[in-house]
């Protein structure tokens, strides 16, 4: 039997090119090699924002964005966190196995509190990693694809699994974090280290040609280069980083040629940006076309989530029953 994977996202808005580089590209590969569950972590979205007025739309965007890039609901199981109450019951049980200071020391908590200027974390934010552990362990996932920042959550999940197994008997496999080497962080169009929707520096997978053209035209390049005849830097230049990330095989030679010219001051920013616009549109066009088709299929997202959640939930029910039996609660 192929190994199981659980991965997911918080429905906090549309997906962008950074998400493609950092997770979707990898999911496209994983869906053919593993049994993959993709969780829409709507409860986790509440840990930093309790306003749920646009959450339905965010969930829809999240699913449409993923199917548009080629993640196939026939291959993966899309499920909604709040539709699986058994995971929350598991989380309560797991919370008894985790010392409170262990959660207070999580580096992710410190980062979120600093970034969002939260002085007093809610109980929900503090116990976020415990619910994540329940999501992973409810399907007995073996592998969890995460960014480097989330490794600590997978470590905690292993500790919980180990502790449960040692007290109540072998139940859970110890999941491992899957961190693909080649995945980097895509910078924003403003040159900041990370493209992020809250920083307003993102190109979205659902952006149309006009939006892409305008964002690329304003893009940060090499600030030390004043004239197009000045030698330019390609290494820390988002325009060239995007060309490398999204250029198709047939574009590689031209990209190398542009890099050489740029380094020697033989090509201007405008020309390179026009080329980047072409490369991004070529990458985004099939995604846009698929999205336009999908949007016409009434109820597609709802049906995908309903079926997927039902399947994941039946796994969670089974796991919870076994857990309660092992604990002699039933």
Annotated binding site for ATP: 10-12, 18-19, 147-149, 186, 194-198
CA distance 222 to 241: 12
Three state DSSP letters for 314-330:
HHHHHHHHHHHHHCCCC
Quick one: 149 or 257, whose CB is closer to ligand ATP? Answer: 149
**Shortest Cβ distance from residue 148 to ligand ATP (Å)?**
9
CA distance 78 to 106: 28
**Shortest Cβ distance from residue 246 to Mg ion (Å)?**
21
CA distance 66 to 7: 13
Give the footprint of Mg ion on this chain (CB under 5 A).
196
10 binds, among ligand ATP, Mg ion, none (CB under 5 to 8 A by kind): ligand ATP
Tokens of 41: 């972590």
CA distance 150 to 40: 16
Torsions phi, psi of 52, nearest 5?
Answer: -105, 15
CA distance 80 to 310: 9
Give the footprint of ligand ATP on this chain (CB under 6 A).
9-10, 12, 18-19, 21-23, 147, 185-186, 194-198
DSSP string computed for 46-97 = TTT----TTHHHHHHHHHHHHHHHT--TTTSEEEEGGG-HHHHHHHHHHHTT
**Shortest Cβ distance from residue 154 to ligand ATP (Å)?**
13
10 Å Cβ neighbour count for 328? Answer: 7
147 binds, among Mg ion, ligand ATP, none (CB under 5 to 8 A by kind): ligand ATP
**Shortest Cβ distance from residue 111 to ligand ATP (Å)?**
10
**Shortest Cβ distance from residue 23 to ligand ATP (Å)?**
5
236 binds, among ligand ATP, Mg ion, none (CB under 5 to 8 A by kind): none
197 binds, among Mg ion, ligand ATP, none (CB under 5 to 8 A by kind): ligand ATP
Quick one: 79 or 93, whose CB is closer to ligand ATP? Answer: 79
Residue 204 pairs with which residues in a beta bridge? 16
Torsions phi, psi of 123, nearest 5?
Answer: -60, -35
CA distance 21 to 33: 19
Quick one: 26 or 95, whose CB is closer to ligand ATP? Answer: 26
Q: Is the CB of residue 140 less than 8 Å from the CB of residue 163?
A: no
Quick one: 202 or 272, whose CB is closer to ligand ATP? Answer: 202
Quick one: 185 or 274, whose CB is closer to ligand ATP? Answer: 185
**Shortest Cβ distance from residue 196 to Mg ion (Å)?**
5
- CA 183 to chain centroid, in Å, comes to 12
**Shortest Cβ distance from residue 177 to Mg ion (Å)?**
18
Annotated binding site for L-tryptophan: 135
Quick one: 48 or 277, whose CB is closer to Mg ion? Answer: 48
Q: Is the CB of residue 187 less than 8 Å from the CB of residue 238?
A: yes
- Select the residue whose beta carbon is closest to Mg ion and give its number: 196
Q: How many helices (H) and strands (E) does the chain have?
A: 15, 5
186 binds, among Mg ion, ligand ATP, none (CB under 5 to 8 A by kind): ligand ATP
Annotated binding site: 10-12, 18-19, 135, 147-149, 186, 194-198
């Amino acid at each position: 039997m192929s190994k199981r994977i659980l991965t997911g996202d918080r429905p906090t808005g549309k997906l962008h090119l950074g998400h493609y580089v950092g997770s979707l590209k990898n999911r496209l590969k994983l869906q053919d090699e593993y049994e993959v569950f993709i969780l829409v972590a709507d409860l986790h979205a509440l840990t930093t924002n309790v306003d749920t007025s646009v959450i339905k739309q965010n969930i829809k965007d999240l699913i449409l964005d993923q199917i548009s890039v080629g993640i196939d609901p026939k291959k993966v199981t899309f499920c909604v966190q709040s539709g699986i109450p058994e995971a929350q019951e598991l989380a309560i049980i797991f919370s008894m196995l985790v010392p409170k200071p262990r959660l207070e020391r999580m580096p992710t908590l410190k980062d979120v509190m600093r970034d969002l200027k939260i002085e007093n974390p809610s109980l929900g934010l503090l116990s976020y990693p415990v619910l994540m552990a329940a999501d992973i362990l409810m399907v007995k996932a073996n592998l969890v694809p995460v960014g480097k920042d989330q490794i600590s959550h997978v470590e905690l999940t292993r500790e919980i699994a180990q502790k449960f197994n040692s007290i109540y008997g072998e139940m859970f496999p110890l999941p491992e974090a899957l961190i693909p080497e080649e995945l980097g962080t895509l910078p924003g169009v403003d040159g900041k280290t990370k493209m992020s929707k809250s920083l307003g520096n993102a190109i979205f997978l659902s952006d149309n040609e006009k939006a892409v053209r305008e964002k690329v035209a304003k893009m940060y390049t090499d600030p030390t280069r004043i004239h197009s005849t000045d030698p330019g830097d390609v290494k820390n230049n988002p325009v060239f980083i995007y060309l490398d990330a999204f250029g198709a095989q047939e574009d590689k030679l031209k990209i190398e040629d542009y890099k050489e010219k740029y380094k020697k001051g033989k090509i201007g920013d405008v020309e390179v940006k026009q080329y980047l616009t072409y490369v991004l549109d070529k990458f985004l066009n099939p995604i846009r076309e698929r999205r336009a088709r999908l949007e016409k299929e009434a109820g597609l997202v709802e049906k995908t989530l309903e079926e997927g959640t039902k399947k994941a939930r039946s796994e969670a029910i089974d796991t919870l029953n076994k857990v309660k039996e092992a604990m002699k609660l039933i």
